[in-house]
Structure 1
Amino acid sequence: MRRIPRFNLEQLGPQFGSGPHPAFVVNGETKSEIWVSMYRAVLSNGELVSVPGQNASLLTYDQAVAYAAANGPGFHLMTRAEFMAVVLPEWLKAGKTDPPIRGNTQWGRSHEAPYEWGVRVDGQAPGTTTGDNATLAGSGPLAWRHDGTPFGVADIFGSRFLWFGGLRVNYGRIEIIPDASLDLSLASPNWMAIRASDGAPVTPQSGQTGVLYYKKDPTKSFTDDGVSQNVGPAILGTSPDTFPSGWDENTTTQDYVTNSSMSLAYESGLTPPTIAYALGLVPIPGVTKGAFLDYVQLAGKNPAQNRARPDWSSNVVFGLGFSHSPSNAFVVWAL
């Protein structure tokens, strides 16, 4: 596992606030470090393990939560906060621009640097446009590790979708579990909304206003014709959309939103609270590569993912998606 030392938000800039990054606040205590698995997780004997050269397992969100916790006290599915604690220092080192992290974004190779490739799980040559184009964990070059060193976290994006614990949309309302020591499952009682005025966690309520939502463009309308359609880009707002009757996370034909660039509009008068930057719920200043929101299903309770795909040809270190598509995981230890 890779040690990630604590840092304070004020080191990043005024948009991020002050005090320890929330990834380092565990069970009400500020920790000096967290430990992140170096490789995408493989399910072995009922546990998620970090092993190089393996085909990362695809799991449902709740499976990833349960199997990660089965490793013992302090182990859990990597949260969105912890992911940001891994990549934000690289953004800072890069001069507050796109960090130089690459991955499998083009059929087993990097679309930005096609001379960089890993070992495909199906044994085919990089660039082959058929078959399973994921790569074996850690089989790519050092540029595919979060800090460019042999000891970096490998495949931080690309190859497989990646779950983020403790972050979901609930009919568009952005909900978090602020402490990774708590139950991270979708049925957990620990989900909290985010108050728009100051970023404080508040109890979710039906029809709630004054908290953060991802919403469709108000000039667009949801369809209810049995065909899933893109009604994006999304905006960040403070009140819920109205959805067609019966839509929930099981409605596979529900419409979705996508922001195809690293941008997000805010409703009039809304200034995102600092926690939105710390958790990467809004675009990070200076980052230009990729799509910020890729395939967000708003209706129902949909967990967060990085949906960078090996056939997409896009660098989306900070990208977010929300759906129930099977994904992979990193495991974190913090106690």
Structure 2
Amino acid sequence: MFKDFRSALFRLKDYRQLMRRRTGRFFAYCAFLCLLTWLTGFALPLGMFWQRQGGVRHFFEANIPEFTIQSGKLSVPGGYHREGADYYVDINTDASHKIDLNAQETRTLMALKSVVLLGDADQLVMKNDSGGIAADLRTIQFHDFRDGISKETLLSLTGYVKWGLIIAGVIIYAGFLIGFFLLNLVEAVLAALLLRFVGVYTDFGSTYRLTGYARTMSTLIVALLALFGFDTDLTMYPAVVLDLFIVARAAQCMRAAGNARNTGDDRAPRTSDTSVRAVTPELAPEEKQSGEDEAASGAERETEAQTETEAQTATEAETEANDSGDKDTAPDESAGEKKAADNTAETPPRDDITPSDGWSF
């Protein structure tokens, strides 16, 4: 809630996210703005008044004179008169005094004072224009009151005033909330036309939410004015102009952000694709598989070649060893062969002796 409040006040570029908020969150935010207006326009002034006067009963005792209404006639002994910079109160119940609304003196009072209360024995006239431009004039006729009413009767009812103020506060807050949504509907229609002119196209629901968040600044200003006693109906028109101005500025920020993002999207794919192709070309699945098979076959051939090399080395070493052994044993073998040849020549086998040789003993 407070994050949305800060964004709506100070960060126009966040309005793209604000206008996409859920409906429940948007209604809660609008209720928060109405609560801000209700607090500064009703609750806080009433609380300060209550604290300053010491309660409703004490206020009535200090400011309401002794009076009685009997048989349709008001009686205020000695009369009652109060006058200030912005109010005028005069009650005179003498039989010879009658209120004349067309008298010049009365018309002058009505024009100069915001709050005027005039009374005689038969009627009470109240004028109050502090809440608007036009005067609100009301008249109470005492002939409608047949039962006896006095100040003590009025003071006995002050216990119900607190509950009446609570109910009135709830009704006033509901009125603020309904008025906020109705005025936001009017501003949303104007904002939709303004967005079309700026070049931002959104649905009406998003425009309605955008307008609601754009009213944060004007609501805060009106609330502060009400808190300091400067509340008037004339603040509504500058507030509408300020809201539409914020909508236009937020739309320009959204359009600029959209153009920047589109430009970045147009440039980014080309650069990334080129770098991928140049640095890490991507192979098809069949090529990857054949490459893996070739690598495995190369490893097997390398292993076989290494084995053959080791076997050849071992064979050459064995051959060299045999050759050196043959050289060492060759003289012995030659002598043996010669001796065997001599023995063969000296003792021929008996199969060669024949009777013709002439054996003699």
TM-score > 0.5, shorter chain as reference: no
Superposition TM-score, scaled by structure 2 size: 0.17
Higher helix content, 1 or 2 = 2
Highest relative contact order (Cα 8 Å, sep 6+), 1 or 2? 1
